[in-house]
Structure 1
Amino acid sequence: MGPGVTGLNHITLAVADVQRAIAFYRDVLGCEVRVVWADGAYLECCSLWLCLSRDDLVRTSPHADYTHIAFSVDNDGFAEMSERIKANCTVWKDNRSAGASTYFLDPDGHKLEIHVGSIEIRLDHYRNDPSKGVSVFGP
């Protein structure tokens, strides 16, 4: 097998109103605005490059499937951020997984999550609970 991907480069989200989306990602989630133009913006969220792009075809309701984007948050700041999100957003799912999470919609209906934990914590959870029937690979 040849070379593979080296990481996540960026995520682009279609938005109906660029200024509304910038305000949400900046003021509610704490992303840093880096570039703004008439039909879009680039923001940074830690090492994530987020592009907001105006699109006339933005749907008015979220997809029915489970596809979503999860942002990492520290345990110490989770409760405060979760309350801020709940005050400004629609919650689309209750957390039933290992680790603290809040599942919410952005103003354009994109499904998002804030989550405390890492993949290693999740793998340890499955290693320690074989009743889940999950196969864990690697150390």
Structure 2
Amino acid sequence: MLTGLNHLTLAVSDVARSWEFYYELLGFEPRAKWNTGAYLSLGELWLCLSLDAVGAKTDYTHYAFTVSPDALTTLVEKMRLKEVKEWKINKSEGESLYFFDPDGHRLEVHAGNLESRLNYCRLYPYPGMEFY
């Protein structure tokens, strides 16, 4: 059966601009780049940037990346200097920054993990929450 996330492909309107954002600003490792796409990695995550039309995004779907609390502070400063647009203010456990990439994909950097979130939720559960 399934064993984990294989890769994440994002439609991008400008490969070079997205390459700069993910590689130079967020620190993904460059793996390959061509006229209509690129491969980057972040730990075990394989990211594909694919040249394509980008549609409107209006729901809560987003992609979150782990960051240490110290690195989060530095990254927030860099993002705000680059005037990267934010799409949400963090209201949940763990420090986070919610922001858009150049094509409007909703991203998050989060200094926490599933266990810290569950521990918090045991103290302050969401309505109707059950634990397993």
TM over 0.5: yes
Q: Number of aligned residue pairs: give it.
A: 131
Query: 1:22 is matched with which residue?
Result: 19
| Aligned mates of 1:58, 1:98 — CA distance in 2 | 31
- Across the aligned residues of Structure 1 and Structure 2, the Cα RMSD in angstroms comes to 1.3
Deviations 1:73-107 (A, max 9, x none): 01121100122122331000000010000000000
Q: Is the 8 A contact 1:126 1:136 kept in 2?
A: no
1:48-74 residue CA offsets vs partner (Å, 9 max, x unmatched): 10000001x223xx4111100000001
> 1:83 corresponds to which residue?
77
Q: Among the aligned pairs, what percent are the same residue? A: 48
**Residue aligning to 2:100:** 105
1:65 and 2:59 equivalent? yes
Alpha-carbon offset, residue 129 of structure 1: 2.1
Unaligned runs of 5+ in 1: none
Listed as ranges, the matches of 1:35-54 within 5 Å are 35-54=32-51
- Of residues 126-135 and 46-55 in structure 1, the stretch that sits farther from structure 2 once superposed is 126-135
Gaps of 5+ in 2: none
* 1:43 alignment partner, SS class: strand
SS in 2 for 1:44: strand
Larger Rg: 1
Which letter maps to 1:74? S
- Tell me which residue corresponds to 1:116: 111
Could you tell me the TM-score, scaled by structure 1's length?
A: 0.89
Q: Does 1:13 align with 2:10?
A: yes
- Partner of 1:65, secondary structure, is coil
The 1:69/1:133 distance shift into structure 2, 3 A limit, reads same
